[in-house]
């Protein structure tokens, strides 16, 4: 996500009419996952203490690849679109189903403020725009460790599996530095999942839901996203004589304020956000700088709104700049499609999800305006995306509230974001059971 936005409310759960039979294979793999529990936590702590920013996941990728090699997978493809990895496991029985289990592996330029003994103290001095403190403030350390655990567990039952499993470790989900390519689209362009092509993709994201709860949504779970960059050019001048130049800074302020009104031009049923999180100015206290650059993001829950909103934002910037004698150039970068869960995939997966967490821990959730570029894979190959709760929260009157005496609720990308270790096992089981059920033919849409 870059990623999870608020998950403020829940809307019940569709209870399946069928339950999935727990087979010997499910029991066997659960036993292996139980044995691996401490190991998965250790991996997660190591990854958490050694976070790397998008497109710089060198040591993270090496750590993952060493593990996958040690498992004796049929193939470990590395250095895909930067530091992407795909592990390939062919089952011991013939089968043409192929599931891709995906984890994102990058961290964020956030200074961690969580009081844990494996907290990150990493600073990346060389990253464009840096130096930046680096932290796994979006939980991708959990995603990586959970998929490493699932790979181990699935290898342990390989002779019982019919079909193929792709373990997809994806870099740069949070967006590569501007001017670089990366992430799911770059992996897909590099044909990372082309051979064999998945018949299902599964991904998940940890977030501030009650520990061990799985949330899903039919339709768009996460929003469509685009980065907006607006460069406003004026004329540099001494701070004491603004009338001798053209000041781009008030224009920047007007654009930020006015953009907050664009939502009124979009149907109110469709959630939209426009946020500017970064401003670069060339001036100082006594210099009115030549240019100001705004960097932000546009999110739309209904993907078809994106073109209209971007056009309005571009017009607004251009006209506000013109009114002050400046020029504004607006660019839209790194388009990420919405994460869309088709009803047929959700319905096919509910028995598996219920069998992993119990129907009482499976909830439908509202759409959020986070994004996840796993959408590139899910849209192309079909599949499912869910949220996994990892915090000390509970449901009360349909809302999610902190548990008294717990660690509270901290949203993704916040310096206080945390994830409970004891939720990891649920994530490993989700990967493993979804994979087994898809390969066994119990989780399919035809
Ligand atoms: Zn994320
Ligand atoms: Zn994120």
**Digit-coded pLDDT (tens) for 220-239:** 999 999 999 999 999 999 99
pLDDT score, position 4: 43
Cα of 2 to ligand 1 centre, how many Å?
Answer: 4
Q: Which two tokens stand for residue 48?
A: 């958490």
Q: Which two tokens stand for residue 3?
A: 């990623």
Strand ranges (E), 81-128:
84-90, 93-104, 123-124
- Decide if 206 contacts 142 (C-beta within 8 A): yes
Q: Is 278 exposed, middle or buried (0-12, 13-18, 19+ CB in 10 A)?
A: exposed
Contacts of 360 (CB under 8 A, 6+ apart): none
| H or E element at residue 56 | none
**Degrees to nearest 5, angle at CA 376 with 345 and 357:** 40
Q: Which ligand gives the minimal distance to the CA of 413?
A: 2
Cα of 46 to ligand 1 centre, how many Å?
Answer: 18
Q: Is 363 exposed, middle or buried (0-12, 13-18, 19+ CB in 10 A)?
A: buried
Q: Which ligand gives the minimal distance to the CA of 143?
A: 1
Q: Which ligand gives the minimal distance to the CA of 225?
A: 2
219 — pLDDT class (breaks 50, 70, 90): very high
Cα of 174 to ligand 2 centre, how many Å?
Answer: 6
Burial letters for 90-106: b for 16+ Cβ neighbours within 10 Å, e otherwise?
bbeeeeebbbbbbbbbb
Backbone φ and ψ for 365, nearest 5 degrees, come out as -130, 165
- pLDDT averaged over every residue in the chain: 95
The correct answer on CATH 3.40.630.10 for the domain covering 10-222+338-439 is yes
Cα of 176 to ligand 2 centre, how many Å?
Answer: 12
pLDDT score, position 15: 73
**N-term to C-term CA, the chain:** 30
Quick: pLDDT tens for 89-110.
999 999 999 999 999 999 999 9
Helix (H, G, I), strand (E, B) or coil at 45: helix
Cα of 78 to ligand 2 centre, how many Å?
Answer: 23
pLDDT score, position 231: 98
Cα of 411 to ligand 1 centre, how many Å?
Answer: 11
- Other CB atoms within 10 Å distance of the CB of residue 285: 5
- What residues does the ion ligand 2 have nearby, CB within 5 Å? 1-3, 138
Report how far residue 288's alpha carbon sits from residue 380's, in angstroms, rounded to the nearest whole number.
48
Report how far residue 184's alpha carbon sits from residue 186's, in angstroms, rounded to the nearest whole number.
5
Cα of 356 to ligand 1 centre, how many Å?
Answer: 23
Quick: pLDDT tens for 118-158.
999 999 999 999 999 999 999 999 999 999 999 999 999 99
Report how far residue 387's alpha carbon sits from residue 270's, in angstroms, rounded to the nearest whole number.
21
Greatest CA separation for the chain: 81
Quick: pLDDT tens for 73-86.
999 999 999 999 99
- % of residues, the chain, pLDDT over 90: 91
Cα of 64 to ligand 1 centre, how many Å?
Answer: 18
Domain boundaries, the chain: 10-222+338-439, 224-336
| H or E element at residue 164 | strand 162-170
Cα of 428 to ligand 2 centre, how many Å?
Answer: 20
Which CATH number describes the domain made up of 224-336?
Answer: 3.30.70.360
Quick: pLDDT tens for 263-280.
999 998 889 999 999 999
203 — pLDDT class (breaks 50, 70, 90): very high
10 — pLDDT class (breaks 50, 70, 90): low
**Degrees to nearest 5, angle at CA 165 with 105 and 359:** 80
| H or E element at residue 54 | none
């Amino acid at each position: 996500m870059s990623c999870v936005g608020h998950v403020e409310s829940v809307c019940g759960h569709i209870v399946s009419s069928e339950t999935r039979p727990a087979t010997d294979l499910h029991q066997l793999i659960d036993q292996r996952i139980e044995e691996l529990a401490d190991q998965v936590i250790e991996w997660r702590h190591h990854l958490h203490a050694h976070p790397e920013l998008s497109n710089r996941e060198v040591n993270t990728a090496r750590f993952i690849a060493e593990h996958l090699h040690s498992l004796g997978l049929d193939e470990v493809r590395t250095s895909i679109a930067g530091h992407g990895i795909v592990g390939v496991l062919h089952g011991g029985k013939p089968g043409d189903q192929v599931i891709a289990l995906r984890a994102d592996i990058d961290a964020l330029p956030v200074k961690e403020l969580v009081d844990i003994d494996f907290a990150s103290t990493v600073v990346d001095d060389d990253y464009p725009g840096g130096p930046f403190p680096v932290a796994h403030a979006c939980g991708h350390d959990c995603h990586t460790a959970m998929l490493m655990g699932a790979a181990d567990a699935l290898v342990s039952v390989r002779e019982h599996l019919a079909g193929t499993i792709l373990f997809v470790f994806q870099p740069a989900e949070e967006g590569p530095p501007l001017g670089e390519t990366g992430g799911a689209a770059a992996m897909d362009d590099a044909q990372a999942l082309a051979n064999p092509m998945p018949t299902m993709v599964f991904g998940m994201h940890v977030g501030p839901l009650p520990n061990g709860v799985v949330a899903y949504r039919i339709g768009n779970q996460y929003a469509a996203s685009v980065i907006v960059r607006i460069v406003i050019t004026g004329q540099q001048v001494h701070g004491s004589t603004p009338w001798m130049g053209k000041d781009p800074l008030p224009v920047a302020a007007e654009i930020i304020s006015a953009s907050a009104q664009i939502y009124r031009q979009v149907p109110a049923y469709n959630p939209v956000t426009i946020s500017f999180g970064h401003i670069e100015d060339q001036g100082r206290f006594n210099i009115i700088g030549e240019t100001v650059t705004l960097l932000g993001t546009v999110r739309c829950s209904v993907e078809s709104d994106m073109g209209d909103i971007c056009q309005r934002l571009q017009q607004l910037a251009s006209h506000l700049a013109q009114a002050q004698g400046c020029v504004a150039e607006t660019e839209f970068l790194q388009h990420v499609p919405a994460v869309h869960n088709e009803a047929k995939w959700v319905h096919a997966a509910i028995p598996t999800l219920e069998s992993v967490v119990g129907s009482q821990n499976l909830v439908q959730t509202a759409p959020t305006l986070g994004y996840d570029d796993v959408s590139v894979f899910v849209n192309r190959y079909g599949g499912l995306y869910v949220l996994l709760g990892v915090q000390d929260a509970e449901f009360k009157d349909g809302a999610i509230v902190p548990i008294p005496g717990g660690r509270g609720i901290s949203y993704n990308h916040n310096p206080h974001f945390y994830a409970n270790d004891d939720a990891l096992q649920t994530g490993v089981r989700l990967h493993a059971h979804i994979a087994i059920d898809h390969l066994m033919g119990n989780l399919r849409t035809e």
